[in-house]
């Protein structure tokens, strides 16, 4: 049995101010990850759910980004104000928060596509 039911990976990547790609954690405070940890602890979920800080998840234009595994649900533009909703609706309730889902990108055409 795996030690955790779910992992939340919270991008804490920082870049220099003004970088064209943006930065998920410009202050370097890891505040979003800490908010997830605090909210999980308040609900008694830290033995089953882990909130990990992550390096770049390569979704910079949609950051701050959070991904939930094993659900493979990606959230974009997440703020501390969204933490309780993600935990209550998705982690506890099993319903991803639609308004925060990472936008789908068009797939690259492969050989033979018209």
Q: Is residue 53 part of a domain?
A: yes
Q: Is residue 110 part of a domain?
A: no
Q: Is residue 49 part of a domain?
A: yes
pLDDT for the residue numbered 1: 61
User: At 21, which CATH number?
Assistant: 3.40.30.10
pLDDT tens for each residue of 43-100: 999 999 999 999 999 998 898 999 999 999 999 999 999 999 999 999 999 999 999 9
Whether residue 103 is predicted with pLDDT greater than 80 in this model: the reply is yes
pLDDT for the residue numbered 13: 92
Q: Is residue 108 part of a domain?
A: no
Q: Is residue 22 part of a domain?
A: yes
Q: Is residue 60 part of a domain?
A: yes
pLDDT for the residue numbered 110: 46
Q: How confident is the model at residue 114 (pLDDT cuts 50, 70, 90)?
A: very low
pLDDT for the residue numbered 61: 86
Q: Is residue 34 part of a domain?
A: yes
Residue-range definition of the domain harbouring residue 44: 6-100
Whether residue 113 is predicted with pLDDT greater than 60 in this model: the reply is no
Q: Is residue 113 part of a domain?
A: no
Q: Which of the pair, 12 or 63, is modelled with greater confidence?
A: 12
| Closest-CA residue to 91 (of 31, 42, 29) | 42
Q: What is the CA radius of gyration of the chain?
A: 15
Measured between alpha carbons, how far is residue 58 from residues 12, 29, 39, 63, 80 in Å? Answer: 12, 20, 26, 9, 21
Q: How many domains does the chain have?
A: 1
pLDDT for the residue numbered 20: 86
Q: How confident is the model at residue 23 (pLDDT cuts 50, 70, 90)?
A: confident
């Amino acid at each position: 049995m795996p030690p955790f039911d779910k992992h939340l990976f919270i991008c804490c990547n920082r870049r220099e101010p003004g970088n064209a790609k943006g930065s998920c954690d410009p202050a370097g405070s890891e505040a979003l990850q800490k908010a997830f940890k605090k909210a999980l602890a308040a609900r008694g979920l830290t033995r089953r759910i882990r909130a990990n800080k992550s390096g770049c998840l390569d979704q910079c234009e949609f950051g701050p980004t959070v991904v939930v595994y094993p659900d493979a649900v990606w959230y974009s533009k997440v703020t501390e104000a969204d933490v309780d909703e993600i935990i209550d609706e998705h982690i506890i309730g099993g319903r991803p928060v639609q308004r925060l889902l990472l936008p789908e990108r068009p797939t690259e055409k492969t050989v033979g596509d018209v």
